[in-house]
Every structure is written in structure tokens, then in C-alpha cells.
A and B are shown apart, each in its own frame.
Chain A
Amino acid sequence: MAIPYFPGCTLSTKASGYDRSGRAVAQALGLEFQELPDWQCCGATFPLSTDNAMTLIAPTRLLRQAQEAGGQMTTLCAICFHVLRRTQNFLQEHTDVLERINWFTEEPYLGQVRVTHFLELLRDQLTWETLRANVSQPLKGLRVAPYYGCLLLRPPAEIQLDDPDDPHILHECLEALGCEVITFPYQSECCGSYLAVSKPTVPQQLAQDILASAQHHGAQALVTACPLCQYNLDYPQQSVRGWAIKPLPVLYFTQLMAVALGLPEQVWGMEGHSVDPRPLFEPYRATVA
């Protein structure tokens, strides 16, 4: 089954490992990603000023591209997902705004595209049972802590992916891969998000709290679905002086999936990490036939 796929800017650059592992596992599960043609940035934040339709043009254009591609679109980046789903919700309710935006775009967007996150696709279309059945290298004994962050789940009334106060979707995915899944109190606290640009000490402090708590609960790695969370939690571990926490790899769920599905190391996409996660996977490396 071919799924229209929007990688987004970060997955083409800094988070290319997320993109590479994501495409590979999708293919391995028979859900081939079909990259949207001629895409651009989603806008990176959902605009909260409701009277300014201009700021919604970028995500709306992507929705229109997906409309051409068959009316569905999936993303890996939690932020792209957040922006696109909220734009879709907003336009469905505010048809007058949609009409105004359509004056600016080449072709009209009709307002009917279904935006999903890849995790949602796995849970609702593929099912965890099927995923489990496809696991050839179960990650038995690997203690991982899912880290949800904010934008994947909130605001819940609009995003409708999972309960932000008691989320399960990453837990279920990692359990299907055979991991020992650890719940820790910071799992849906904020990582500091874009303050990484303007006030980097804030996310650095938050990262220390998050990582320390995960370690305290016995995690060997943190798992996320968001490139900005990954950056805020991983990058300072190498770059910040006086860092008080033992190194803790921060991975994308698709990277663990790639290992568990027995895919070759080239598609794991773990080269660029500040804390190299690869030693963790030595025991789970697929034996080459």
C-alpha cells in the first residue's frame, strides 16, 4: 500500500536518520511512503492568530498536494503532524478562511485530507499484532523510556491521538518490538522546544531533568517521535560544558523498529547522534545470512 508522505525540512537535514529509518520500516511493513511532490516547509508552528489567513497558506498548500495524491498524508515529524492536523481541523470549521486562502493558491484545497502520524497508522491500520509478527530481532531486555513531549499529543481535543496525561501509543509500539518499556514522570513534559534558538539554557536545564529522571527509572535509552525533542535532549549531552548527566542515547522509534525488523545497519540512521546509540544494539544485530 502506497502512503503519501510528507518528510518536512528537518527530516531532510538534521533528522535524516529518522527519515531513512522511517522509509525503510514502512517499506518492510508493506506501507511504502510516496513522497509528496514539490513540497515546502509546513510553517513549523500552528499560528494562533485566527484572523491572519496568510500564515496558514503554507500548510494548506501541503494539504492540497496530499489531496492530489489521494486524500491522505502521513508524517514522521511530530511538529509537522501537529501543524497539519490543526490546520486541517481549523479549515474544516472555518470554510470562509479556506475560501480566502484558496484565492492565493494555484489550485483550490477542498478541505477533506486526512492527516495522520506514522504511529497512528501503525496502531490503527497496521495494528500492533501485525508489527509484532514482523519482528525478527525482538529487543528483549532493552530498557527504553518513551518520551512524548508536547506537540504530538496536545491540544488533545484537536489532535485526538492519545491521552496527554496518560499516553500509550509509543509504549505499545515499543512493547511490540519486545522492549522493556519504562514509564517516567517527565514523559510528556516539554523539552523547551524552540527556546533552543533564543534561550538555550532553558532546554538544557529541562533536558537534564528529563534525562536524569529517565536514568533514575532505569532507562538505557529515550525514544521519541519528534526531531526537536531529539535535538534538545541529545545535542547538549556532547556540547554543553559541566553536563552532570551520564550519556543517554535518544532515539527515534523508527530506529528501534529498523533494528527489530532485522533491517541492515545502513538504514538505522544512527550516525549523526551526539550520544552514539549503536553499542546498545550489538546484541540485537541481525546475523547476515
Chain B
Amino acid sequence: MSRIGVFVCHCGHNIAGTVDVKAVVEQLQRNGDVVFAIDYKYMCSDPGQQLIRESIEKYQLDGVVVAACSPAMHESTFRRTVSAAGLNGFRCESANIREQVSWVHQQDKEAATQKAIEIAESIVEKVKSNETLEPLILPLTHRTLVIGGGIAGMQAALDIAEAGYPVILVERQDHLGGRMAELSGSYLNFQAAPDLLEKKIQQVLNHPNIQTLLNAEVDGLSGYVGNFRVTVEQKPSATDGAVVALDELEPLRFTFDVGAIVVASGWQPYDRARLTEYGGADIPDVVDGLTFEKMLRSGEVIRRPSDGKIAREVVFVQCAGSRDPEHGVSYCSKVCCMYVAKQAMLYKERVPNGQAYVFYIDIRSAGKNYDEYVQRAMTDYGVLYLRGKVSRVFREGDQTIVWGSDTLTGRAVEIAADLVVLATPMLPSHGSTELGQLLHISTDGYGFFNEAHPKLRPVETLTAGIYLAGVAQGPKDIPEAVSQASGAAAKVLQLFSKNEMTASPLVASVIEEYCAACGACVKVCPYGARQIHPIWNYATVNAALCQGCGACVVACPNKASQVRNWRVEQVMGMVDVLL
């Protein structure tokens, strides 16, 4: 006979308002395996937990059933309570009489009470044969792979490296800095982006904990959180072979064991050639925002690309290809309102007697000091903001004509411009969907990586140990990308704060003598946790990958696959009690 204690929670009126908790206690007291049963107002409160702890000692309990809320809510709470009293946590189970009983059967109190009794009885039956288990201990490699050497990737790498852990930083291009290296300056304070960036790059390159691989791409991934194995291919660089032509050199291959991965693969601009109505394909004096950054970087006066004449009338077109499912993407690219204001002001500094126009749908300058910055463009720099869309851009002689509407005056506007700057949206960098497939993390319809939760888990992916930083996850500006990178680094450090990982022991196991090595479990396992042992010829379980879902138990014709504490005979025993 077992010595099980049953603790029935009122949850205020949540349960006791519908279920006759005294009747549940009385009925359970009659169970031969139950030596003690009691009800209490809030079992999860400190006095409630104390009641459980004291009862374990007083009645020498060897198992605990808490008839209360869903195990998703407080299973871990009560297992901790039980452990504190010296009983193995896995000898404690929750019987859900709130979500599955009182909340859904408020109209029929008698039936609800009967159902609560049956559920509690069935959980008593389960606890009787629950094994005493310890958490699984898994090794943890304290090394991180960062994919992408832009500002987000570098920030994440530096934060992790500063905490004392080695980082492998893989960058596809032959230099660090990413898209930020193409910018003339950053908004808010005009501080030159190249200077800001150069400092970061030097910090990364000189950091003893960061190994940077340029011209390199990740091309293979196996393993799981704490124990990933990645392969990286690096194109030979010019310094590797001065005599031999580069394309004759074999690429270098590396394999690294890492515990965590930060994906910061960045972005690319929308191809302006696809905006035919704006002359993006064939008018030489129509450029996109990133091209205009290059023109600003030179530090010289702004000239027309077509003939080198000074550009005296410049039109900026916001939302060129964004918020426009007909011609481009549906989303707002978020950074354009701000960088257009910056570009217009920098233009006015280079060509003081020139005129800058900005066509906008609305100004999205949400951020600390952001709106003030846009207003400076209007008031201090005389940039003319026109609220409306541009309908057409075409060539007339050596000028570029812009047709648009000004919805504040209600008039159609025609501007003969020297230069038109299309504020095209950010797209995920090319190959991001393929990278997502390689890493088993999902992307949205555009190729941006999906976060685990849009509000509460914005830097994690649904694959444990893989984190996101920067525009790879969605359009954002430099301060946001840096914040997210530091957030991702904090998540990595949280993982690395332990020497090894613990995992739930409630995973599948195999009774080897029953196993026919048919492979049914390998096929159904959604986590890739199963394989047939190559020598012993029976199915094995990778306990780190197994999530205890039980698909293999159902698939296994011999019932050799079992999930711990959900063994077939346990479940059948519970069913017997219910019937």
C-alpha cells in the first residue's frame, strides 16, 4: 500500500464555488492508498505549501496529489514544495479540477464534484507507480556562433565575449560592418556612421575571445541546444595565395561545437528597378536611399548622376515599394521616415541653396527625440514636406519630372527635379529562407525570421539555443538592432550561467528486449530524437532532443517505447479507475 496525501484546493471560489471540496476530501479518504486528505483555501499560497510540507513529514507520505489548477500553472510549484520536504518531486502530480472541472461545469455542481473525485482518484492511481526520477544532466558547450558581422552581430559577439565566453563570428562578406558600413551618418546626432562603426570593428577584431571568419558561410548544423555542431565554409581570401588564382584554391572547411547561435544575418534593399512607375529601372537620376548614402559619404556637393551638374531640386519619395502590396511589400520599413529626414538635412548642408522635397503618407517618428529631429528638417533646414503619394516619375529632357498629390492643399503637384531618392524598404538579406531551413527556424512570408513570441520572447526562436538580432528578424534601426543584440547576448549568457544543462527526465525510453528495430518510432518522432543503434540493433532515444510527446509510444507495435511516468500500465490503471 502506498502512503499518498491528497490536497484539495478551493482556489477561493474558483473551485469551491462549483465543486464540493469537502465531499472530494471525504471520498479520497476512503481510498486505500490515501493516508491523508485535506482541503485548503489557496494551496499555492505560503501557508498552503507549508501544509503540504508538514503533512509529508507528519504522515510519512510517499506520494502527493494536489487537486487544484492545471499542471501548466503550478505543477512546478508543488514539485518544488514536495522536494523541500525531502520527497522526490516526481512523486507529486496535479489533478486538474479547475480548468477541466469547475470552470466548465458551473451549471451542474453535483456532476462537477463527481468528476473532480474521479480525476483525483485517477491521479492517485498514477502517483502510486510514479518512478523516483532526477533531472537529466546534459553537457553544455560554452561557445557561441554568431551569424552576420553587421552592427547587430558584432554587438552580440562583443557582449558575449566580454562575459568571458568564446565566440565564432561568421560573416559572408570580406569585411565587418554589414549595411551600416554603407551609411554616411546616423540620425539624431549626425555622428558619422563610419567612425562609430570602425571602433566596433576594431573591438571585435582585437578581442581575444572572438574568432572572426570573413568570406564564410554556415552550411551545416546538427545537434541541439548546448551541443550544436556547425560546419562553416570559407572562401580563400587574397592573402592565402598570392600566386594562385583565387578560384583555384579549395575553400576552407571548419567544424565547431557551440552551445548557442545568434542569427544576425541582416538585410538588403528592395530592388528599385522593380518600381517602374518611379523610373527606378531606367532613369539615371532616380536613386534609392542606400545609393544616396554613398553620394553623401563622399563628402562632396550632391550632383546628378546623369551629367554631374549640381542637384538643386531633390525629391525624396517615402514608402517607395513599402506599404504597397501592388508594387512591393505590405509592411512599413520603419527606418525610412528618419533616414529621409537625415538625408534631406545633409543634402541641405551640401547644397545650401538647393530645395529638398519629401513626399510622405504619414511621418512615423516614434522614438526618443525622433519627432523633434524630423521637425528640425522642416523648420531649421527648410525641407518641404508634402503629404501625399507620388504617382509617376519620368524623364523630360535632362530633368526628372515627379507627379504627386499634396493632400493638404488638395492639389496635384509637378516638380522638375534634378534628383529623385526612393526610400525603398528593407528586405531580409538574400538566402535568409535557406538559412532558416538549415537552422530549423521559421521565417515569415518575406523571409524575416520568426521570434518565439511577438511580445514576450522577441529575441528567441522556437528552437532552443538559437536567438535573433537585428533586421534579420524585422526592419529596425541601429539603436533597436543593438538593443536586440544585447538582449540575445543576455539570453546566451543566461544559458551559459550553468556548467551543464538540466532537462526534464520525463522522456521516452526503450525496453530493449521488446524492440524489433522496425523504425516506426524513428519515422514518427517530430524532434529527430530517435535512431536505430547501428551495432546493437534496437531503437535509442536522444534524451536531450526528446520532448516526451509520446508519438513513439503510439507508433511502437511492441510497446517497447515508453515515456517515463506515463508508462502504458500506468495509463491503463488510470483508465480502469475512471471506468
* A-to-B contact residues, CB < 8 Å: 163, 165-166, 185
| B281 close to chain A: CB less than 8 A | yes
Scan B274-296; emit 1 where CB is below 8 A from any A CB, else 0: 00110001000000000000000
Q: How far is the CB of B518 from chain A (nearest CB, A)?
A: 45
Interface of A, helix, strand, loop or mixed by DSSP? loop
| B401 close to chain A: CB less than 8 A | yes
Chain B residues near A163 (CB, 8 Å)?
276
13 A-B contact pairs sorted by A residue (CB < 8 Å):
A163-B276, A165-B276, A165-B277, A165-B327, A165-B392, A166-B276, A166-B277, A166-B281, A185-B392, A185-B394, A185-B396, A185-B401, A185-B403
Tell me the chain B residues, 463-480 only, with Cβ under 8 Å from chain A.
Answer: none
Q: How far is the CB of B33 from chain A (nearest CB, A)?
A: 61
* B-to-A contact residues, CB < 8 Å: 276-277, 281, 327, 392, 394, 396, 401, 403
Chain A residues near B327 (CB, 8 Å)?
165
Alpha-carbon separation in the docked complex, A163 to B326 (Å):
12
Q: How far is the CB of B531 from chain A (nearest CB, A)?
A: 46
Q: How far is the CB of B250 from chain A (nearest CB, A)?
A: 45
Alpha-carbon separation in the docked complex, A178 to B487 (Å):
65
Q: How far is the CB of B400 from chain A (nearest CB, A)?
A: 11
10 additional A-B residue pairs with CB within 8 Å, beyond A163-B276, A166-B276, A185-B392: A165-B276, A165-B277, A165-B327, A165-B392, A166-B277, A166-B281, A185-B394, A185-B396, A185-B401, A185-B403
Q: How far is the CB of B399 from chain A (nearest CB, A)?
A: 12
Chain B residues near A165 (CB, 8 Å)?
276-277, 327, 392
Alpha-carbon separation in the docked complex, A185 to B396 (Å):
9
Give the A-B contact count at a CB cut-off of 8 A: 13
Q: How far is the CB of A37 from chain B (nearest CB, A)?
A: 39
Alpha-carbon separation in the docked complex, A163 to B396 (Å):
21
Alpha-carbon separation in the docked complex, A185 to B281 (Å):
15
Q: How far is the CB of A184 from chain B (nearest CB, A)?
A: 8
Chain A residues near B392 (CB, 8 Å)?
165, 185
Alpha-carbon separation in the docked complex, A270 to B277 (Å):
34
Alpha-carbon separation in the docked complex, A163 to B394 (Å):
15
Alpha-carbon separation in the docked complex, A165 to B327 (Å):
10
Q: How far is the CB of B115 from chain A (nearest CB, A)?
A: 45
Alpha-carbon separation in the docked complex, A116 to B464 (Å):
54
Q: How far is the CB of A92 from chain B (nearest CB, A)?
A: 22
Q: How far is the CB of A193 from chain B (nearest CB, A)?
A: 17
Chain A residues near B277 (CB, 8 Å)?
165-166
Chain A residues near B403 (CB, 8 Å)?
185
Of chain A, the residue at the smallest CB distance from B414 is A185
Alpha-carbon separation in the docked complex, A185 to B414 (Å):
12
Alpha-carbon separation in the docked complex, A49 to B394 (Å):
35
Alpha-carbon separation in the docked complex, A165 to B283 (Å):
14
Chain B residues near A185 (CB, 8 Å)?
392, 394, 396, 401, 403
Chain A residues near B401 (CB, 8 Å)?
185
Chain B residues near A166 (CB, 8 Å)?
276-277, 281
Alpha-carbon separation in the docked complex, A163 to B276 (Å):
8
Q: How far is the CB of A156 from chain B (nearest CB, A)?
A: 8
Chain A residues near B276 (CB, 8 Å)?
163, 165-166
Of chain A, the residue at the smallest CB distance from B393 is A185
Of chain B, the residue at the smallest CB distance from A156 is B326
Interface centre among A163, A165, A166, A185 (most CB of B within 10 A): A165
Q: How far is the CB of B381 from chain A (nearest CB, A)?
A: 30
Q: How far is the CB of A190 from chain B (nearest CB, A)?
A: 11
Q: How far is the CB of B204 from chain A (nearest CB, A)?
A: 44
Q: How far is the CB of B404 from chain A (nearest CB, A)?
A: 13
Of chain A, the residue at the smallest CB distance from B275 is A165
Alpha-carbon separation in the docked complex, A185 to B327 (Å):
19
Q: How far is the CB of B493 from chain A (nearest CB, A)?
A: 49
Top 10 closest A-B pairs, CB basis? A165-B277, A166-B276, A165-B276, A185-B394, A163-B276, A185-B392, A185-B401, A166-B281, A185-B396, A185-B403
Of chain A, the residue at the smallest CB distance from B391 is A189
Of chain A, the residue at the smallest CB distance from B392 is A185
Of chain B, the residue at the smallest CB distance from A167 is B276
Alpha-carbon separation in the docked complex, A185 to B283 (Å):
13
Q: How far is the CB of A1 from chain B (nearest CB, A)?
A: 34
Of chain B, the residue at the smallest CB distance from A157 is B326
Q: How far is the CB of B292 from chain A (nearest CB, A)?
A: 22
Alpha-carbon separation in the docked complex, A100 to B249 (Å):
68
Alpha-carbon separation in the docked complex, A139 to B392 (Å):
31
Q: How far is the CB of B369 from chain A (nearest CB, A)?
A: 38
Alpha-carbon separation in the docked complex, A166 to B392 (Å):
11
Alpha-carbon separation in the docked complex, A126 to B396 (Å):
34
Alpha-carbon separation in the docked complex, A163 to B403 (Å):
19
Alpha-carbon separation in the docked complex, A185 to B401 (Å):
9
Of chain B, the residue at the smallest CB distance from A183 is B394
Of chain A, the residue at the smallest CB distance from B401 is A185
